[in-house]
Amino acid sequence: MAGKKLLIKHAAELVTCAGTSPKQGAAMGDIGIIPDGALLAEDGKIIWVGPTAELPALDESQWEVIDAAGQCVMPGFVDSHTHMVFGGYRAEEFFWRLGGTPYLEILERGGGILNTVQATRAASLEELKELAGRRLAGMMAMGVTTVEGKSGYGLDKETELRQLAVMSELNREQPVEIVPTFMGAHAVPPEYKGRTDEYVEYIIKEVLPAVAEQGIAEFCDVFCEQGVFSLSESRRLLEAAKSLGLKTKLHADEIVPLGGAELAAELDACSADHLLQASDAGIAALGSKHTVATLLPMTAFCLREPYARARAMIDSGAAVALATDYNPGSCFSHSIPLVAALAAIQLGMKPAEIVTALTINGAAAVNRADRVGSLEIGKQADIVILEYPSHLFLVYHAGMNIVDKVIKQGQLIWSKAINIS
């Protein structure tokens, strides 16, 4: 799908976010702004970046030209934590939680994740694919060019593989790049109630080998949480996944400070996600490693929980990413604008840090920092063009989608003016 030749010129700001690894601590504030910036891409890859005045001599008639005067050009957003393939919805549970019913109590009575498991098991591959395809189109309109998707609503071999197969097919058939994550350890299914150890054994012996054999997941994730999967169970499962060639992630310290952040650092996991209750020791551990701290402020917003301590993480030297956690239960939203607003207003992150967290650090959280997440020579031409002249408007125009154009591998895939999607 790579576009042939693309020239973008006269960007009020061209934000590069240059790098091939996560930006940690103070480095998150360095986003490499080029005033009156320009970019050349050929066959889907960036071949030149710099000020418009320094563009190499070329015949513009041979290029697709975008004049970005008065606009900000930046890397495409990477939504590095979603649960986008699922059947059914749980609107009533949203209001149960607002009425005071704790999330773990809803899960205990067969609601929560288990409610979605029932609907997802009943859905065909075609039904799941149609639903997920519509969701991807909505993400693309908000500037997302790469998205991570998790299984975890099957909790059995057949449905977990079906969820991953949906992502595999959609990866071939539409432009947003999908990073597939196996998350069979999302909850304990009803048939294994009270037998968590046996369920972990089932995943390790029966499901993980099938996932690895089919090559349809890059990561393995686990809900490391009190009442779900313990530290020892999580470690055992992730070590088994690593032995089969999968990279690792953790849902860590979301509800109680269990030590998930420390475990993620110990295992050199690619990311530790949520971290609402991460301890000082856990934050320090993340600051000492390249494990990305992926924060999901919309989930805290929807659950009315305290927000993750982003400032402490950045000040400790951690690499922070931001993602939506789009799912049918605790966060039924894929709004990048709301993520950005909450990051500034509630997490205390600076505008440049937010851009880093949504681009190069998001890319690092899904092991893509070598090819997406920044605008520099050799990277994929995955680009977002904003309606406004500065990255500051991502937060300033609070909660509004200010994306004007979305480009994937040098090809225009969405435009507000013509809505080509």
Predicted confidence (pLDDT) per residue in 208-221, tens digit: 999 999 999 999 99
Q: pLDDT-derived band of residue 106, with 50, 70 and 90 as boundaries? A: confident
What is the structure's pLDDT at 196?
Answer: 98
What is the structure's pLDDT at 114?
Answer: 86
Residues above pLDDT 70, as percent of the chain? 98
What is the structure's pLDDT at 105?
Answer: 81
What is the structure's pLDDT at 88?
Answer: 95
Q: How many CB atoms lie within 10 A of CB 190?
A: 11
**Tens digits of per-residue pLDDT, 161-190?**
999 999 999 999 999 999 999 999 999 999
Kindly state the average pLDDT of the residues 362-371: 98
Q: Pick the range with the lowest mean pLDDT from 13-22, 106-115, 237-246, 334-343.
A: 106-115
- Cα–Cα distance for residue pair 50/38, rounded to 1 Å: 5
What is the structure's pLDDT at 2?
Answer: 64
The candidate with the shortest Cα–Cα distance to 294, out of 83, 82, 118, is 82
Q: How far apart are the first and last CA of the chain?
A: 14
pLDDT beyond 90 at 137: yes
What are the structure tokens assigned to 127, written together?
């039904």
Number of helices followed by number of strands (H, E) in the chain = 16, 16
What is the structure's pLDDT at 248?
Answer: 98
- Cα–Cα distance for residue pair 321/294, rounded to 1 Å: 5
**3-state class (DSSP) for residue 79:** strand
Cα 238 versus chain centre, distance = 20
150, amino acid identity: K
What is the structure's pLDDT at 102?
Answer: 82
Mean predicted lDDT score pLDDT of the chain = 96
- Cα–Cα distance for residue pair 330/301, rounded to 1 Å: 9
What is the structure's pLDDT at 151?
Answer: 98
What is the structure's pLDDT at 419?
Answer: 60
pLDDT beyond 80 at 103: no
**Tens digits of per-residue pLDDT, 286-333?**
999 999 999 999 999 998 999 999 999 999 999 999 999 999 999 999
Tokens 């979605």 -> residue:
116
Kindly state the average pLDDT of the residues 92-114: 82
- Cα–Cα distance for residue pair 111/403, rounded to 1 Å: 36
**Tens digits of per-residue pLDDT, 35-93?**
999 999 999 999 999 999 999 999 999 999 999 999 999 999 999 999 999 999 999 88
**3-state class (DSSP) for residue 8:** strand
Distances from the Cα of 333 to the Cα of 21, 200, 269, 327, angstroms: 28, 30, 26, 7
| 320 Cβ contact partners less than 8 Å away, ≥ 6 residues apart | 28, 292, 293, 294, 295, 310, 313, 314, 349, 353, 357, 361
What is the structure's pLDDT at 368?
Answer: 98
pLDDT beyond 70 at 1: no
Kindly state the average pLDDT of the residues 146-169: 98
What is the structure's pLDDT at 110?
Answer: 67
- Cα–Cα distance for residue pair 68/75, rounded to 1 Å: 14
What is the structure's pLDDT at 112?
Answer: 85
Tokens 């058939």 -> residue:
173
pLDDT beyond 80 at 104: no
Q: Is the pTM of this model over 0.75?
A: yes
Residues above pLDDT 90, as percent of the chain? 92
